[in-house]
Structure 1
Amino acid sequence: MNFKFEDLEVYKKSLLFTDLVYISTKDFPKDEVYGLTSQFRRAAVSIALNIAEGSGGSKREFSRYLGIAANSLRECIVCITIAERQQYISSQLEKKMRADLVEIVKMISGLKRYLEKT
């Protein structure tokens, strides 16, 4: 038995991105555990959480939560940039993560447009 939001591709992609963040941050320096590691993980998790939470409300409310998810996504961009600049992640991983987030933000925008039309 699934909840409806679990069938959304954007939700599934956000979980895959969260998995990637958790795997990647395992190798961050221990002194970042309460800094960048924690912030990056919370921001990534927030994308999926806001998609799930918003899906249970009205279309207007869902659209608002999708906006919050997009804000968390942008926060992840900053975390990726910092991680790459500090050489915690490779430039190849930085590019992959950015590409994943571009895809997710396009899906969020498309879903918001759909909600506004219906």
Structure 2
Amino acid sequence: MNHKDLDVWKRGMDLVEEIYKVTSSFPSSEIYGLTNQLRRASVSIPSNIAEGAARKGDKELLYFINVAIGSVSEIETQLLIAVRLKYIKGDNTIFESAAEVRKLLLGFRNYLNKKE
């Protein structure tokens, strides 16, 4: 399976770009804090999809999909922190993007679970 053909991987890559754009406006004091955390969590999503797809079977792929789902949860929490700190507004479209990636990951996980 080529991870580059997966819609979930493509959308994860889009989310990385969005996170980088959003965090570029964060205060410089956050470069090693929230900015770094959000960026690392976002990069983790397509990276884990790619690593899982390169493994030998669906069981291993499922593990990495679950890790990617965890990263989306981190992002959602960190974005809410950014709202509380007034770095972004609560109506920012980044929340919709993260929710879409979560939905795609959950759908992919359900598909893989049914295959077993």
**TM-score, structure 1 as length reference:** 0.91
Structure 2 unaligned residues grouped into runs of 5+: none
Name which of 90, 101, 106 aligns with 1:104: 101
Give the C-alpha shift of residue 31 in structure 1: 0.7
Quick one: which amino acid aligns to residue 12 of structure 1? K
Residue identity over aligned pairs, in percent, reads 35
> Structure 1 residues 36-45 or 82-91, which shifts more?
82-91
Runs of 4+, deviation exceeding 4 Å: none
Q: Deviations over 1:53-72 (max 9, x none)?
A: 10111100001100000000
Give the C-alpha shift of residue 91 in structure 1: 2.2
> Secondary structure, in 3 states, of the residue corresponding to 1:91?
coil
> Structure 1 residues 28-37 or 101-110, which shifts more?
101-110
Name which of 5, 9, 12 aligns with 2:10: 12
Structure 1 unaligned residues grouped into runs of 5+: none
State how many pairs are aligned.
114
For residues 1-118 of structure 1, what are the structure 2 equivalents within 5 Å? Answer: 4-57=2-55, 58-93=57-92, 96-118=93-115
Distance across 1 between alignment mates of 2:28 and 2:99: 29
Give the C-alpha shift of residue 90 in structure 1: 1.8
Conserved 8 A contact 2:80-2:90? no
**TM-score, structure 2 as length reference:** 0.93
